[in-house]
Structure 1
Amino acid sequence: MDLRNTTYISIQANCTVDTSYRFTYYKISYSVIFIFGVISNATALRRFCRIPQTFTSTVIYMANLAAADIFFVISLPLRIYYYHNKAAAISNRTNDWSPGGAFCQLTFTLKYISLYGGIFFLVCIGVDRYFAVVHPLHQHLRKVRTARMLSAGIWCLVLALSLTLPLLYSAASRWHKSCLLDPSSKRDHTIILAALGLVQIAYLLPALLLLFSYCSILRMLRSLPHRRKIRHRRTLTVIYWVLVVFFLCFTPYHLKLLGYTLTQVGLVRSCGLAQVTKVLHPIVLSLASTNCCLNPLIYYFSSSLIHKETTGSRGSASQ
């Protein structure tokens, strides 16, 4: 969801907020994210490719997470182009620039593929660590075939979600020419709330699953002697980075989206909340986008863990 094209946007009868900075901010922030995203992913994938080519479930999930990052990185030039033209239209006081429905569908479908692909595969990494530490005897759940089947299912879910959300937005916006959804429109509030519910569920369920995995791992490690805890130090490093990336990037975005939409459709009548969420929208959206720059840190810090697992799996196979 994004903002409309006017400089001052009426939220309630006497509640306005200046958002004229947003298109320039998007253009600059996405340019920076694109540069760092390309560099960090190229560096991490280079290190990733040096790992012995014995696949494990961890390798499968991280490779799919990297693919989700690539989807977002390649979409950034399209988004930069979009916001550059929006900013130019406002500064020149010309008619609103519209890129066309196909451009919008492509750009924002790629965005959702990256956003929810990142969410789901981060959770897969956390759950994979959960079974490795808490249920080491259930190794059939960590087989490469199982990881590949689960990854294929997640991609189907991500693609379905990524295509459904822009279609819902288009249905809610069909009576005006805005490229993006405007929740303040009086039409189709049911569709808008359905899209909001879908987005929140797609975040909350993975968040709860990730927290459960993290707490279970900590409880298990707390009961182990110190010498055995050291053996799982790499696992804790991976879990910490997964949690940091997940909650730093995705929690502010979904909290803001909830408050923003509820105030715009009139279910929550708070001018202060409406103004805050409107002003913070570009910031939290850019923060959510930085996951493509932070995910390579997970590959980097877990490379020794992957090397240990691949070496162990080859050793087991040779016995």
Structure 2
Amino acid sequence: MGNYNNTTCSIDDSFKYNLYGVVYSIVFVLGLITNCASLWVFCFRMKMHNETAIYMTNLAVSDLLFVFTLPFKIFYNFNRHWPFGDTLCKISGTAFLTNIYGSMLFLTCISVDRFLAIVYPFRSRTIRTRRNSAIVCAGVWILVLSGGISASLFSTTNVSNTTTTCFEGFSKNIWKTYLSKITMFIEVVGFLIPLLLNLTCSSLVLRTLRKPATLCQIGTNKEKVLKMIIVHVAIFVVCFVPYNSILFLYALVRSQAIANCSIERFARTMYPITLCIATTNCCFDPFVYYFTSKSFQKSFNISPLIKMDNLFKIDSATKMALPVTHEELTEQMNINNGGELMSESNFKD
């Protein structure tokens, strides 16, 4: 893309250090409080751990693992020196990637689970079980840890005369041979596929709710369902779409697949900003727990803004509803099929 000489393209992105330091400090405080409280609810206050709670618990763990590494990053960005050694540098890099892409995948699991619960409430009963949810979560952890560890192998410390750096300073050759390929793989598997699944599942849920027989039963509660879906999709889109879009461009620039100084300036300026936005996801995930789980609301003795048990009512002709807990299903319909459906609403004739 035109003549380009890396030595003549002057780029000053030093603003990122103070930006990272401030944002990481805020995220550390808020993320630590909200996710510790969420994990405490999941482990000690909720009476039953269904498949939805399993996904949310794993999402909270992913957030906390990242939050615990933030004090080291805060120190580094304010002092521009990494005294903690190469191993901790790699661990911090792995924790960041695990959080970003683990969060996207666990949010996708929740979205797909909600889709199955609403659109196929009866046919999905044998699929939506705690055992299958645990297997899916294990697969997600294996995937994100593999990708995170592979990328963090290059997050080595670079020692100069006065300072030691971490998370930066990768050579053009490393970007061309390794990092660009790893980045593209992560982008497809960890971002594009989850994004399409989230948007597709949400649109199909909304289409199901627009059916006349369903609308007749839901009434004004449709607006509350929309709020629940909007919160989920907004966290995904606002936190992750900007970062991954710029990351794709950033990888092309750093590997010199795109050799244009203006584009490189844009990518290297926007990358720290979008990365900071992405890290705030661990502060917003508890909103997903609140809007998705009635049990989560009750555990804090909160009078919920949205009464999840009133979101859906079943029509005897169409049998369209959001599935219920195993206990509620057994009590109301005397059905015991060994699989839980969802913990958030009741069947009502």
TM range (shorter): 0.7 to 0.9
State the shift of 1:234 in Å: 5.7
**2:139 alignment partner in structure 1:** 153
2:129 aligns with one of 143, 157, 163: 143
Larger CA deviation: 177-186 vs 286-295: 177-186
Is the alpha carbon distance of 1:31 and 1:181 closer, same or farther for their aligned partners in structure 2, counting shifts above 3 Å? closer
Matches within 5 A, 1:248-287: 248-287=238-277
Residue identity opposite 1:214 in structure 2: S
1:119 aligns with one of 104, 125, 128: 104
Alignment coverage as a number of residue pairs = 299
- Greater helix percent: which structure? 1
- Determine the C-alpha separation between the residues in 1 that align with 2:192 and 2:182: 14
Is the alpha carbon distance of 1:234 and 1:62 closer, same or farther for their aligned partners in structure 2, counting shifts above 3 Å? farther
- Determine the C-alpha separation between the residues in 1 that align with 2:278 and 2:5: 24
| Per-residue deviation, residues 31-62 of structure 1 (Å, max 9, x unmatched) | 01111112332444566568641222111111
TM-score for both structures, normalised by structure 1: 0.83
**2:340 alignment partner in structure 1:** none
Is the alpha carbon distance of 1:175 and 1:26 closer, same or farther for their aligned partners in structure 2, counting shifts above 3 Å? closer
1:211 aligns with 2:193: no
Contact 1:117 1:158 in 2 (8 A): yes
State the shift of 1:181 in Å: 4.6
Pairwise CA RMSD of aligned residues? Answer: 2.9
Residue identity opposite 2:120 in structure 1: H
State the shift of 1:163 in Å: 1.0
**2:301 alignment partner in structure 1:** none
- Determine the C-alpha separation between the residues in 2 that align with 1:310 and 1:280: 43
Contact 2:175 2:254 in 1 (8 A): no
Contact 2:93 2:167 in 1 (8 A): no
State the shift of 1:111 in Å: 1.2
Matches within 5 A, 1:1-319: 12-45=6-39, 52-86=46-80, 99-137=84-122, 138-168=124-154, 179-182=166-169, 185-187=172-174, 189-201=176-188, 202-225=190-213, 226-230=215-219, 235-304=225-294, 308=309, 312-318=325-331, 319=334
Is the alpha carbon distance of 1:188 and 1:272 closer, same or farther for their aligned partners in structure 2, counting shifts above 3 Å? closer
Residue identity opposite 1:145 in structure 2: R
Matched residue SS, 1:180: coil
| Per-residue deviation, residues 84-111 of structure 1 (Å, max 9, x unmatched) | 331xx5xxxxxxx564321211111111
| Per-residue deviation, residues 225-250 of structure 1 (Å, max 9, x unmatched) | 32334566665443222211111111
Contact 2:111 2:201 in 1 (8 A): yes
State the shift of 1:153 in Å: 1.5
Is the alpha carbon distance of 1:150 and 1:235 closer, same or farther for their aligned partners in structure 2, counting shifts above 3 Å? farther
Residue identity opposite 1:134 in structure 2: V
- Determine the C-alpha separation between the residues in 2 that align with 1:295 and 1:249: 11
Contact 1:127 1:210 in 2 (8 A): yes
Residue identity opposite 2:327 in structure 1: R
Structure 2 gaps of 5+ residues are 299-308, 310-321, 335-349
- Determine the C-alpha separation between the residues in 1 that align with 2:34 and 2:323: 24
TM-score for both structures, normalised by structure 2: 0.76
Is the alpha carbon distance of 1:178 and 1:84 closer, same or farther for their aligned partners in structure 2, counting shifts above 3 Å? closer
Is the alpha carbon distance of 1:246 and 1:111 closer, same or farther for their aligned partners in structure 2, counting shifts above 3 Å? same
- Determine the C-alpha separation between the residues in 1 that align with 2:286 and 2:174: 42
Structure 1 gaps of 5+ residues are 1-9, 90-96
Higher relative contact order (CA closer than 8 Å, sequence separation 6+): 1
Is the alpha carbon distance of 1:84 and 1:290 closer, same or farther for their aligned partners in structure 2, counting shifts above 3 Å? same
Contact 1:263 1:273 in 2 (8 A): yes
Is the alpha carbon distance of 1:262 and 1:238 closer, same or farther for their aligned partners in structure 2, counting shifts above 3 Å? same
- What is the percentage of aligned positions where both structures have the same residue? 30
Residue identity opposite 1:228 in structure 2: Q
State the shift of 1:199 in Å: 2.0
Residue identity opposite 1:279 in structure 2: T
Matched residue SS, 2:237: helix
- Determine the C-alpha separation between the residues in 1 that align with 2:143 and 2:126: 23
